[in-house]
């Protein structure tokens, strides 16, 4: 039970600390809309981003069960850790908080007649989300470790948090940067454990695959 709670907490932390780039893009897209459309764009954009991650992460969870891919996933997750480190150093969450706050302000950003529809903005957001979902997908799939129910529940809660409290979360991460550093530590631990299993796991490890193939 405790392990289940820890895993869910880790999924939520990973999803939140890795959401800064998405929040930044969604806020920028919303700021270019007429004021009356911005809140809808932010809400729908966050939901689209999170739902895409659930779908991709479920697929990734299944793929990580293939021998050899666990090792590849671990190496990619180390890359995610590096990108998160760079985002923390670049204050991405602070920039995202500023952009979201500007989008929430009807007197800031673009205030003229509508030049883009809500649908057009969401298409742009969705395309961007698809291209940048790899980090979140790898992190939560690795933490879930094959448990689809755990994955969907953890990400479902993250959807609610990001959809209805995105600006607050970005401000929280800006005010308390140790949360982002904690998320980075969690991801490094998960990547290291994943690397170990990717090599030595009796079912999906690369050594077991080599033995089964007569290579070792």
Please name which of 182, 197, 196, 192 lies closest in space to residue 12, comparing C-alpha atoms: 182
Q: What is the pLDDT of residues 32-75, one digit of tens each?
A: 777 777 778 777 887 777 778 778 777 877 777 776 677 888 88
**Across 167-178, average pLDDT:** 84
Structure tokens at 62: 């299944």
Residue 19 lies in a domain: yes
Residue 196 lies in a domain: no
Residue 84 lies in a domain: no
C-alpha 102/C-alpha 64 separation (Å) is 40
Q: What is the pLDDT of residues 117-130, one digit of tens each?
A: 777 777 877 777 77
Residue 108 lies in a domain: yes
Residue 105 lies in a domain: yes
pLDDT at 183 over 60: yes
C-alpha 103/C-alpha 34 separation (Å) is 10
Phi and psi at residue 215, to the nearest 5°: -95, -15
Residue 181: pLDDT band by 50, 70, 90 thresholds?
very high
More confident residue, 112 or 72: 72
Cβ atoms 8, 150 nearer than 8 A: yes
**Cβ atoms within 10 Å, residue 5:** 9
Residue 212 lies in a domain: no
C-alpha 185/C-alpha 33 separation (Å) is 37
Count up the domains in the chain and report the number: 1
- Residue matched to tokens 């985002």: 87
- Mean pLDDT value across the chain: 76
Residue 160 structural domain: 2-66+91-177
Task: Give the pLDDT score at 211.
Answer: 62
Task: Give the pLDDT score at 205.
Answer: 61
| 3-class SS string, the chain | CHHHHHHHHHHHHHHHHCCHHHHHHHHHHHHCCCHHHHHHHHHHHHHHHHHHHHHHHHHHHHHCCCCCHHHHHHHHHHHHHHHHHHHHHCCHHHHHHHHHHHHHCCCCCCCCCCCCCHHHHHHHHHHHHHHHCHHHHHHHHHHHCCCHHHHHHHHHHHHHHHHHHHHHHHHHHHHCCHHHHHHHHHHHHHHHHHHHHHHHCCCCCHHHHHHHCCCC
Q: What is the pLDDT of residues 132-171, one digit of tens each?
A: 667 777 787 777 777 778 777 777 777 777 767 777 888 8
C-alpha 77/C-alpha 31 separation (Å) is 32
Residue 216 lies in a domain: no
Residue 50 lies in a domain: yes
């Amino acid at each position: 039970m405790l392990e289940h709670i820890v895993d869910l907490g880790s999924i939520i932390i990973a999803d939140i600390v890795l959401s800064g780039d998405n929040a930044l893009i969604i806020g920028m897209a919303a700021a270019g809309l007429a004021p009356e459309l911005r809140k809808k764009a932010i809400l729908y954009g966050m939901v689209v981003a999170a739902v895409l991650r659930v779908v991709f992460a479920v697929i990734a969870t299944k793929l990580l069960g293939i021998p050899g891919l666990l090792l590849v996933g671990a190496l990619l997750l180390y890359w995610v850790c590096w990108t998160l480190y760079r985002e923390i150093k670049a204050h991405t969450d602070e920039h995202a908080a500023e952009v979201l706050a500007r989008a929430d302000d009807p007197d800031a950003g673009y205030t003229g007649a509508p030049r883009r529809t809500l649908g057009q903005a969401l298409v742009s957001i969705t395309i961007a989300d698809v291209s940048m979902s790899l980090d979140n997908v790898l992190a939560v799939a690795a933490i879930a470790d094959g448990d689809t129910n755990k994955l969907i529940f953890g990400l479902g809660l993250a959807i609610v948090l990001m959809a209805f409290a995105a600006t607050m979360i970005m401000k929280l991460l800006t005010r308390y940067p140790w949360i982002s550093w904690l998320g980075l530590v969690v991801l490094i631990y998960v990547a290291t454990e994943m690397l170990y299993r990717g090599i030595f796991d009796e079912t999906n490890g690369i050594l077991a695959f080599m033995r089964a193939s007569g290579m070792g």
